[in-house]
């Protein structure tokens, strides 16, 4: 069998010392993954899912051989300039849901797929930067400073710059979400890094046709038991200070608490995650839209529990008018339902767009509201509005099926169905309902096993292979120790930006 060719994630730079890489074509300048030339896609026969259970693995060998043989040409294609008709400046409103993605999902539009993969990689960055090791004195924080965040993750070609980190606190115990260190003295007793706000660089802004503000929320990695740990109770959004005129617009209590909780004794969460985001968005809108007169979009992204926070924050930005009439769009992956039918109607009535990418076998998008949801006959929906277990998805859903990929194996681990990298792998091979799985961007399948065990064993990709070198320890003076990071309360590492309260005052806090 041919040795699997492990190719690069879409947003990895081609000079990062952490990865063995191939050279980038010298004329390449675009940071965005683009569909390869048509002749690179002529491999449909051996990728049909009906072949997946055969003893002969020649189709897998052939696929991996194709990936290797076409690698050099594919790098030229992926990073080369897009055809004029596919350039984002002319199509980004459509890609961001101006027409509710009508005609773009089945078959899937190549540019939409490319953008979903790009935002998916930026979503993955939130989790990968999170220090979740309880034996680290920095557990619960972001591993990297803002000025080198994307470089340290090997994603400095993504074309964005971190504007601020988001911190949150919660009294709810959430597996794989709120972490505490075993150390007696830590960077914070209350707060956890929960996401970031980023802004497109000048070069990227020119390529995509507008200044793009990204709000990325951290989710769980593989553990999905948090679903049962939230209180399945609806709560009015107006009860936490969101200025909604309808008291019947309600969301899940656990989500809204995590979004709005704060602790004035902690320098990192003396303002809630909500307040931090609203202040930062207001600052960026004032700078780029009001002062500079630029076209601005707000892209809110998240996976798992982070998807719920993305929906909440996108709604809040529109409800408070913080977007100043600018486009607000959610790209979520494996997200649960967030609120009731009136929340859905209010969310969509404000013009907020949401495209939800889901695996049909993942149970997280099916909750809360397992029995009373958008699938209830319409003539009965109004009868269930007052019930505390009535939940409705917002926006538009893009359904994927992991059983269509010939590279994924049968497993009883339901966390694999929820895995973000598995979603991105499925996006890469999705062309429309009923169509064969066929890689479009040649995304490296090895990424699927970064945090799970989902790839077929014959691919020889070990499970859960993504980890820090020596789990973060370095050898110094003959001993293995944790390196000392720059003081986490320095402004560039970021607690709250010094002007957070100034912008909160401007928006009425």
Active site residue ranges: 304, 362, 418
- Helix ranges (H only) for 225-355 are 226-229, 253-260, 273-284, 305-319, 341-349
User: How far is it, in rounded angstroms, from Cα 80 to Cα 18?
Assistant: 24
d(CA 302, CA 308): 8
Q: Cβ neighbours of residue 266 under 8 Å, at least 6 residues apart? A: 169, 188, 189, 190, 191
What's the DSSP call for residue 408?
B
The rounded distance, in Å, linking the Cα atoms of 303 and 120 is 9
Lateral strand order in the sheet of 327-333: 160-168, 192-200, 211-217, 296-303, 327-333, 353-359, 396-400
Nearest alpha carbon to residue 372 among 320, 401, 407, 337: 337
Which stretches does DSSP call E strand in 191-294?
192-200, 211-217, 234-236, 250-252
d(CA 258, CA 117): 27
Helix (H) or strand (E) holding 75: helix 71-79
Residue whose tokens read 């003081």: 487
Residues 6+ apart with CB under 8 A from 287: none
Q: Tokens 């953008």 map to which residue? A: 115
DSSP H or E run through 62? helix 58-69
Concatenate the DSSP letters of all residues of 130-145 into one string. Answer: B---TTSTTTTSBSS-
């Amino acid at each position: 069998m041919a040795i699997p060719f492990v190719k690069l994630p879409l947003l990895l730079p081609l000079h990062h010392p952490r990865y063995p890489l191939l050279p980038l074509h010298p004329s390449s300048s675009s940071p965005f993954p683009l569909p390869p030339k048509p002749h690179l896609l002529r491999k449909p026969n051996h990728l049909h899912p009906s072949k997946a259970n055969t003893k002969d693995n020649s189709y897998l060998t052939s696929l991996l051989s194709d990936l290797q043989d076409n690698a050099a040409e594919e790098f030229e294609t992926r990073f080369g300039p897009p055809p004029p008709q596919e350039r984002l400046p002319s199509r980004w409103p459509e890609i961001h849901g101006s027409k509710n993605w009508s005609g773009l999902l089945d078959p899937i539009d190549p540019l939409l797929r490319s953008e979903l993969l790009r935002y998916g990689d930026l979503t993955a960055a939130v989790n990968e930067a999170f220090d979740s090791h309880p034996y680290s004195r920095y557990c619960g924080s972001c591993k990297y400073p803002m000025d080198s965040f994307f470089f340290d993750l090997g994603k400095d070609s993504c074309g964005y710059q971190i504007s601020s980190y988001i911190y949150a606190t919660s009294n709810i115990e959430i597996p794989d979400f709120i972490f505490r260190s075993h150390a007696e003295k830590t960077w914070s007793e209350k707060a956890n890094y929960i996401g970031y706000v980023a802004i497109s660089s000048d070069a990227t802004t020119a390529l995509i046709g507008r200044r793009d503000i990204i709000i990325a929320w951290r989710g769980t990695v593989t553990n999905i038991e948090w679903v049962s740990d939230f209180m399945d109770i609806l709560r009015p959004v107006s009860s936490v200070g969101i200025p909604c005129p309808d008291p019947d617009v309600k969301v899940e209590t656990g989500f809204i608490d995590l979004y709005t909780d704060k602790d004035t004794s902690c320098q990192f969460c003396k303002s809630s995650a909500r307040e931090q985001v609203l202040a930062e968005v207001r600052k960026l809108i004032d700078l780029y839209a009001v002062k500079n007169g630029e076209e601005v979009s707000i892209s809110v992204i998240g996976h798992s529990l982070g998807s719920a926070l993305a929906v909440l924050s996108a709604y809040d930005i529109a409800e408070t008018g913080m977007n100043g009439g600018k486009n607000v769009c959610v790209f979520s992956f494996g997200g649960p339902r967030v609120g009731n039918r009136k929340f859905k109607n209010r969310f969509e009535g404000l013009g907020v767009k949401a495209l939800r990418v889901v695996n049909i076998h993942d149970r997280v998008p099916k909750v809360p509201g397992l029995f009373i949801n958008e699938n209830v006959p319409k003539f009965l929906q109004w009868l269930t509005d007052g019930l505390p277990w009535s939940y409705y998805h917002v926006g538009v859903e893009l359904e994927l099926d992991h059983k269509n990929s010939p590279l994924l194996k049968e497993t009883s681990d339901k966390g694999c169905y929820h895995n973000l990298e598995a979603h991105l792998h499925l996006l890469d091979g999705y062309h429309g309902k009923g169509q064969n799985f066929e890689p479009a961007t040649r995304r490296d399948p090895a990424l699927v096993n970064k945090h799970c065990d989902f790839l077929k064993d014959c691919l020889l990709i070990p499970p859960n292979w993504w980890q820090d070198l020596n789990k973060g320890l370095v050898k110094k003076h003959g001993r293995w120790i944790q390196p000392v990071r720059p003081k986490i309360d320095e402004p560039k590492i970021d607690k709250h930006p010094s002007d957070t309260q100034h912008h909160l005052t401007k928006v009425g806090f």
